[in-house]
Amino acid sequence: MNRKEFLSEKSVRYCCEDHFDVDNDTQNFMRHRIAGGRLLLKKDVIPHKFACQKTKVVTQERSAVAKRRRAEYYEKVLSKEVPASVAQKPIEFIECVQSDEVIKDPDSPIFVPMDCFDVDVEASVKIKTKKKGTQVHIMGKKKIKDVKQNSGRKILNLQAMKYSKATTLIDFETRGLMPPVFTPLNDDLTINYAAIPGYAKYMAEAGFKCVLVGGTTGEHMSLNVADRKKVIEEWVKAGRSTGLHIQVQVGGAPLPDVQELAAFCQKNGVGSILTLPELYFKPSNVDELVSYVALVAGAAPKLPVLYYHIPSMTRVEINMPAFVTEASKKIPNFAGIKFTSNDLSEASQVLRAMSEKKALFLGADTLLAPAALLGIKSSIGTSFNLFPKIAHAILSAVQNKDVETARALQHKLCLAIESLTKEGPWVPVMKAGMEIVTGIRVGPPSLPQKPLSSEAIERIRGRLRVLDVA
């Protein structure tokens, strides 16, 4: 073919790929062609602009070149030794639900259509040879097969935890009062698993439909993973016999442990999970927090996942209305938030930012009535363990528009809580109060917290007796 114009800097933008070294110059060609700059060619090779390219603005890559690049990419993957640190971690691979094409470019080997979520998959990539060219075809199914390349067959097994439109999410319709349960301990600080069935029965008889396991009240941040799993198993068993929805807080540990607990919850019949943020390398903005919660949610894609906002303990102070907005868009199984803060202004903003399908649980026992008047009618509170009748009566009064009764009951609950907290930190005083008020012994707090003295316990008993709540 004849050249259509004299050589110039402009003419190199449409260099025929047959006139330079594909193996050595491809990356340079792709970079500089897009940028419109010069191109490094083989020695003594002159770039041409051909008639066939006269009307082309962006030339499509020839199929043979694309196949060759894909083949080179897989050859690199299969030939590399995987370090031990990486071998223990699942390799991410994306299942394409509505597209036959997954591999797009060696530099960006994974292509995800916008309407394609991730899914639990085990991918087998098979590679086989053909003399002329290389055929690469990856089907968007649960088993990914038929990627063909040079000499023989090699298999690369990939595993990943991903979301999919096909993944069936458990509906989260739990609302109302949710007591966070204590972890019963013996005097030697071993876990008293035998106390859990009776504890669950008490909760069900007190009118609760759900409980939170492993929250601040449950002290799971002080337990190892094995103990946390055993506690979860016992509560799931108790939940089945009593009809309680079991929500489990999985955070407060290194991310791999948090993900392991989340996956364990999904496998063992937990109804929903709650997660704290990363506690050491803390997220500093909305995107970082959404990314972290997504990592946890991805380990249990069928379970509703809620975020545990408790800035007084975590020191993670991020705009929650903005967070729930982004999390709702980017995390398919995001189901809501536990908002443990006295900032009812921000809480009401969170409520408006979320759809009705998402849940907002307030974590401020002393603000149960005013929050309910703002429309926040779901709450998680430690004091509900001790004073279930008062808590239920407050919500009932608000629902019946009896503001004076709601105010009086809230005042009584606040006085009861203050009579406890005068003697020490939240969990130790609440554990002591649980036995005083209900007779259910949940034991001392876990280390490093310390139990109350016998004198402090007697002072609490006297105050509660005066309030007629013990």
Catalytic residues: 308, 338
Element (H, E) at 210: strand 210-213
d(CA 263, CA 352): 31
What is the number of other CB atoms lying within 10 angstroms of the CB of residue 98? 9
For the four alpha carbons of 177, 196, 447 and 434, in that order, the dihedral sign comes to positive
Amino acid at 435: E
375 backbone dihedrals φ, ψ, rounded to 5°: 100, 0
d(CA 463, CA 320): 37
Query: For strand 245-249 and strand 272-275, is the pairing parallel, antiparallel, or unpaired?
Result: parallel
Task: Convert 311-339 to b/e letters by CB count within 10 Å (16 or more is b).
Answer: eeebebebebbbbbbbbbeebbbbbbbbb
Task: Name residue 147's beta-bridge partners.
Answer: 136
Helix ranges, 374-422 (H): 383-386, 388-399, 403-421
Structure tokens, 379: 């709450």
